[in-house]
A and B are shown apart, each in its own frame.
Chain A
Amino acid sequence: MHTQAQPVGGPLFTRSYLLLLGLAGIGIVLILWRFAVGLGAATALSDGYPLGLWIALDVVTGTALACGGYAVALVVYIFNKGHYHPLVRPAVLTSALGYTIAGASVAVDLGRPWNMWKIPTYFWNWNLNSSLLEVALCIMAYVFVLWIELSPAFLEKFAADGPARLQRLSKKILPFLNKSLIWIIALGMLLPTMHQSSLGSLMMLAGPKLHPLWLTGWLPLLFLLSCLAMGYAIVVFETVFSSTTFKRNPDMPMLVNLQKIAAWTGVVFVAVRLADLAVSGNLRYAGQLDFYGSMFWLENVLWILPMIMMLTTSKPTLGSLFRGAMVAALAGAFYRFDTYLVAFNPGPGWHYFPSVSEMFISFGLIAIELAAYIAIVKWFPILGGPAQPVAPVGNVSQPGGALAS
């Protein structure tokens, strides 16, 4: 498999990069503090809301935003659109980083993380009814798979200009890796199909504590659809971002198609959701425009909006694609966040709003992810397309909300 990907190069420690490192540093200090004092002092979590920001944001929403690798792999390898191949590496990099950070958040969130190694090894104790077990095992495996999928990028670099010994080793591994990568990539599509749908099954077990507009036997499918829409959206988002930040030349027709898939998936999502609620009779709760009803409709509007934006834009620009992708990613983020926190009601007397340290630990982990992304694309051949003058970009010069990747 040949690539034209090249390192971006250039200085790493710009002012905004130092800001990222600062946030990362604060996060790491707070994580150490959290382990010293326990979860009670460091978080706003309670027996009513035992899962909070770290799970709902970093894991449940974060891994869906890290589904770019999964989404692009489906297009390239299953629907056989080889010319999308330049998008694979940046997408897989974002996925690898996103899932690694999600794993780190879980380790911070667990009460007894030193028992984590027992999850994959104590197989005779596995509770096969537990969707969480499935999610845990799949995510652990998927982190490995993603880094293996990405490893040719590192090996190519080492083979080209690494130290002599590393150079020889890389040249030996690369052909073998390229030959067997197909089975790894297939695994890289199976695992997210499994654990992203299981993230939905997981909240089915909240049963009556979950609002009936969210509780349905179709949660696995809705979670799968949402991660796909978010995956395609994030690839568009990220490609526009790196094309403006690192002066790459984006392939517009390709981006337009990916955004179309994201928009269509949003429409299908809402159709499945409304049809299911109509059949079960729970749609009546959507008629009550209380807090839950309003959140429900807000999600649905966000899901439909990318399609409306697309239909009302005669000639898509990088700016319009960027906005459309942001809305699609936001729709999925809202849906997932709501399913885990907003629509979850443990009963009277319980409240949750994340503590400042919870938030800064989340920000810190996201900062680590972004910092690693920037360093890796500058040093290793990830991004395709030689640096060329970029066409006018609408009104997006420095995309702001890029923290969501």
Chain B
Amino acid sequence: MGTDRRGFFKGIAAAVTLTAVPTAALARQKQGVPSDAVGMLYDTTKCIGCKACVAACKVVNKMPPDTSGFGRGLYDSPDSLNQYTKNVIQLYKEGDEQSFVKKQCMHCVDPACVGACMLGALQKGKFGVVSYDVSKCVGCRYCETVCPFNVPKFEWAKAAPKIVKCELCKDRLAEGKEPACTEVCPRKAVIFGTYADMLDEAHRRLKNDTAKHYVPKVYGEHELGGTQVLYLSDIEFEKLGFRFKQEESVPHLQQTVTHGVYKGFVGPVALYALLGAVMFRNRGKSDEKES
């Protein structure tokens, strides 16, 4: 057993080195906002919960109504993002505190779903929009697993299901129009523009907020590596369903580690060569007992 154990620890040491050395050596760069990035800014203090944006989103995306809620078959009444709903207005109410909050894809600067997707069905493309191409989707739902905002949804009721998510009305953007939700908002609670303009506007509102009724930050400026949809609110973001405050993007850890191990595919090729070489050397020298 002596040699077995020594060999065993050698193996462990090799495995540790293989994982550790490149990891430490190559930290991954933080992803920057794309130069052509567009953005949305949503301000909970301006939203009156009319859901015009929800209706407009359904129309332009040709989404069926969700009548499973209070509508009981009569009204489109989604209570969250789901397989029929790419944009939703939710109500937060606790004692005297009350606020509406709009949910849709955040169009992350460094999106976990894009890092997850095997064939690039989800991609960050023109204007920084995270878009979906069903022809490259196998329906593995790994994007749903990794999204920190639980945005991608799956058509559970269908035998040929797709992923459903907001694509920031990319076809309308291509025609020079703005997304349906921002276009119809009667209170301009959600507005559209370049990412830089949206961020400036958010900070302008915070600066002019002498009464200090805003939570003093722009959610999405730094959170989870940054998002192209930005939020202002007078109620803590956690209460509105934004669970995470971390500034590191979700893919950062995983890609730092895997890029280290798989850099240039040198590691796997070297390991294959090593395994082959050891076996080749071992040939005919085994301690096989004749029994």
Q: Interface size class for chain B?
A: 35 or more
Distance from B165 Cβ to chain A, minimum over Cβ atoms (Å): 11
Distance from B114 Cβ to chain A, minimum over Cβ atoms (Å): 8
Using CB atoms, name the residue of chain A closest to B144: A50
Query: Given that A50-B145, A129-B251, A218-B19 are contacting pairs, would A208 and B275 also be in contact in the complex, using a CB cutoff of 8 Å?
Result: no
Number of A residues contacting the other chain (C-beta, 8 Å)? Answer: 81
Query: Given that A80-B286, A83-B289 are contacting pairs, would A50 and B141 also be in contact in the complex, using a CB cutoff of 8 Å?
Result: yes
| Interface status of A35 (Cβ within 8 A of chain B) | yes
- A173-212 CB mask vs B (1 if < 8 Å, else 0) is 0000000001101110110011001100110111111000
Tell me which residues across on chain A come within 8 A of B256, comparing CB atoms. Answer: 217
Residue from A81, A132, A183, A197 in contact with B19 in the complex, judged by beta carbons closer than 8 Å = A197
Residue from A38, A48, A111, A219 in contact with B138 in the complex, judged by beta carbons closer than 8 Å = A111
Distance from A136 Cβ to chain B, minimum over Cβ atoms (Å): 6
Using CB atoms, name the residue of chain A closest to B244: A208
Tell me which residues across on chain A come within 8 A of B16, comparing CB atoms. Answer: 221, 272
Contact at A207–B112, with CB atoms within 8 Å? Answer: yes
Using CB atoms, name the residue of chain A closest to B136: A125
| Interface status of A133 (Cβ within 8 A of chain B) | yes
Contact at B289–A205, with CB atoms within 8 Å? Answer: no
Residue from B15, B144, B254, B287 in contact with A224 in the complex, judged by beta carbons closer than 8 Å = B15
Residue from A111, A208, A346 in contact with B140 in the complex, judged by beta carbons closer than 8 Å = A111
Interface 9-mer from B1-9, B36-44, B91-99: B1-9
Contact at B161–A127, with CB atoms within 8 Å? Answer: no
Contact at A38–B276, with CB atoms within 8 Å? Answer: no
Using CB atoms, name the residue of chain A closest to B139: A111
Interface 9-mer from A12-20, A71-79, A326-334, A375-383: A71-79
| Interface status of A115 (Cβ within 8 A of chain B) | yes
Using CB atoms, name the residue of chain B closest to A109: B140
| Interface status of B150 (Cβ within 8 A of chain A) | yes
Tell me which residues across on chain B come within 8 A of A46, comparing CB atoms. Answer: 156
Distance from A114 Cβ to chain B, minimum over Cβ atoms (Å): 9
Contact at B287–A83, with CB atoms within 8 Å? Answer: yes
| Interface status of B154 (Cβ within 8 A of chain A) | yes
| Distance between Cα atoms of A134 and B258 in the complex (Å) | 10
| Interface status of A246 (Cβ within 8 A of chain B) | no
| Distance between Cα atoms of A205 and B254 in the complex (Å) | 6
Tell me which residues across on chain B come within 8 A of A257, comparing CB atoms. Answer: 1, 4
| Interface status of B116 (Cβ within 8 A of chain A) | yes
| Distance between Cα atoms of A133 and B162 in the complex (Å) | 19
Tell me which residues across on chain A come within 8 A of B243, comparing CB atoms. Answer: 208, 347
Contact at B286–A81, with CB atoms within 8 Å? Answer: yes
Please classify the interface of chain A as helix (H, G, I), strand (E, B), loop, or mixed, using the class held by over half of its residues.
Answer: helix
Residue from A77, A112, A132, A265 in contact with B137 in the complex, judged by beta carbons closer than 8 Å = A112
| Distance between Cα atoms of A110 and B140 in the complex (Å) | 5
| Distance between Cα atoms of A187 and B82 in the complex (Å) | 43
- A83-103 CB mask vs B (1 if < 8 Å, else 0) is 101000000000000000000
Contact at A131–B145, with CB atoms within 8 Å? Answer: no
| Interface status of A389 (Cβ within 8 A of chain B) | no
Using CB atoms, name the residue of chain A closest to B11: A74
| Interface status of B120 (Cβ within 8 A of chain A) | yes
Contact at B159–A36, with CB atoms within 8 Å? Answer: yes
Tell me which residues across on chain A come within 8 A of B153, comparing CB atoms. Answer: 47
Which residues on A are within 8 Å of B, measured CB to CB?
A: 35-41, 45-48, 50-51, 74, 76-83, 85, 109-113, 115-116, 118-119, 122, 125-134, 136, 182-183, 185-187, 189-190, 193-194, 197-198, 201-202, 204-209, 215, 217-221, 224-225, 257, 260-261, 264-265, 268, 272, 344, 346-347
Known contacts A77-B275, A122-B119, A344-B145; 7 further A-B pairs (Cβ under 8 A):
A45-B141, A118-B136, A186-B279, A198-B258, A205-B112, A208-B244, A268-B12
10 A-B contact pairs sorted by A residue (CB < 8 Å)? A38-B157, A38-B158, A50-B142, A81-B287, A110-B138, A113-B139, A122-B119, A128-B262, A132-B140, A204-B257
Q: What 6 pairs between A and B have smallest CB-CB spacing?
A: A111-B139, A82-B286, A40-B156, A82-B288, A50-B141, A207-B250
